[in-house]
Structure 1
Amino acid sequence: MIIPELFCLTIMDEDWGEEIDDFWIEIEADIGIKGDSDSAEVFTVYVTSPRRLRDMVEKSGLEIARGLFIMRDFNIKSVEECLKKILAHCSRKTWNETALAISRYAIWEYEN
């Protein structure tokens, strides 16, 4: 059974509005096979505030999202803890199956 591990998180892009509760942040998560950091592949998540999401929906009328985490106050530690909880339920027989399970929540660099 492949057990996934989160090796690191990197903030790739940040967009902060005029208020502290208005943000959109792109984060890359290096995830691989437990104990083997060389196996890490990149999964992307976007963290946004309810306010930013509301504004996006008001402009577009519709938003469809996978890999979207919504939180009132940005806290990288909370994102890390959430990802670790998700990973605890993504163990599968092969890495490909494991990565596909993770990709329900984050966007895998090797999708398609």
Structure 2
Amino acid sequence: MKAVLKSIGSIDHDPKTYIPEDKKAFSIALTLSIGSSQSNGADYFDLFVCSPEWLCQHQWIPEILRHTLIVRKYDLDEITETINSYIEKCHCDTWMETAEKLSRYFAWEFEDYSV
């Protein structure tokens, strides 16, 4: 099953028009809508994007960072290209298997969900 990025959004900013106040030390939380290329539906995945300088200023304790993309500059085209390259690695037979693979990189809305 082929997964595709259907949209990128953010609660705090419009990713298309976002201009960081500090171009060297910035962060933005993105919500990715990713679904099967064969359907209109999608699941939500979160990704935190930040610069190394932002990390130096805000991460005071040792921590394993998951679901985080570190970039030198805010360039939505470059970020989207990077996201798409990771999505392309996550093809499986079913959507559930594909979404579980995607959750290695992006925080899936149904991760650890049990019925």
**Do these two structures clear the TM 0.5 threshold for a shared fold by scoring above it?**
yes
Deviation at residue 78 of structure 1 after TM alignment: 1.2
Q: Which residue number corresponds to residue 11 of structure 1?
A: 10
1:27 alignment partner, one of 4, 12, 30: 30
Residue type of the partner of 2:95? Answer: W
Contact in 2 for aligned 1:56/1:63 (Cα 8 Å): no
Q: Which has the higher strand share?
A: 1
1:93 aligns with 2:61: no
Q: Which residue number corresponds to residue 44 of structure 1?
A: 46
Structure 1 portions without partners, runs of 5+: none
Query: 1:17, 1:73 → 2: CA distance?
Result: 9
Contact in 1 for aligned 2:23/2:74 (Cα 8 Å): no
CA RMSD of aligned residues (A): 1.7
Q: State the number of aligned residues.
A: 107
Please state whether the residue corresponding to 1:54 is helix, strand or coil.
helix
Query: 1:81, 1:50 → 2: CA distance?
Result: 19
Structure 1 residues 64 and 83, CA gap change in structure 2 (3 angstroms): same
Residue type of the partner of 2:40? Answer: S
Please state whether the residue corresponding to 1:13 is helix, strand or coil.
coil
Please state whether the residue corresponding to 2:11 is helix, strand or coil.
strand
Q: Which residue number corresponds to residue 54 of structure 1?
A: 56
Structure 1 residues 54 and 17, CA gap change in structure 2 (3 angstroms): farther
Deviation at residue 17 of structure 1 after TM alignment: 7.6
Structure 1 residues 17 and 4, CA gap change in structure 2 (3 angstroms): closer
Residue type of the partner of 2:111? Answer: E
